[in-house]
Amino acid sequence: MSSNLFLADGTVVGRALIQSGDTADGFTANLTVCFPVTCPDEVLEHHLRHYAVEFRDWITAAAAARI
């Protein structure tokens, strides 16, 4: 899956790439975020924290659905 990252005015400023797949023991995931080198560190940190919460929620929900 891939998606563009936008500013409030609709300008594309980056890209998120997600690759995942099932394994014998669960799953594997590769998460990539591409921002311009001029992007402030706090913007990247904010997005990485967002990813951490979002994927934790998805993994928790998937685990609960399997029980």
Q: How many domains does the chain have?
A: 1
- Give pLDDT tens digits for 42-53: 888 888 898 899
**Helix extents (H) in 1-67:** 41-66
Percent of the chain with pLDDT over 90: 27
* Residues 33 and 48 sit within 8 Å (Cβ to Cβ): yes
User: Per-residue pLDDT for 29 more than 70?
Assistant: yes
User: Per-residue pLDDT for 9 more than 90?
Assistant: yes
Enumerate the β-bridge partners of residue 4.
15
User: Per-residue pLDDT for 57 more than 90?
Assistant: yes
Distance CA 65, CA 30 (A): 22
User: Per-residue pLDDT for 67 more than 80?
Assistant: no
Identify the domain containing residue 27 by its residue range.
2-66
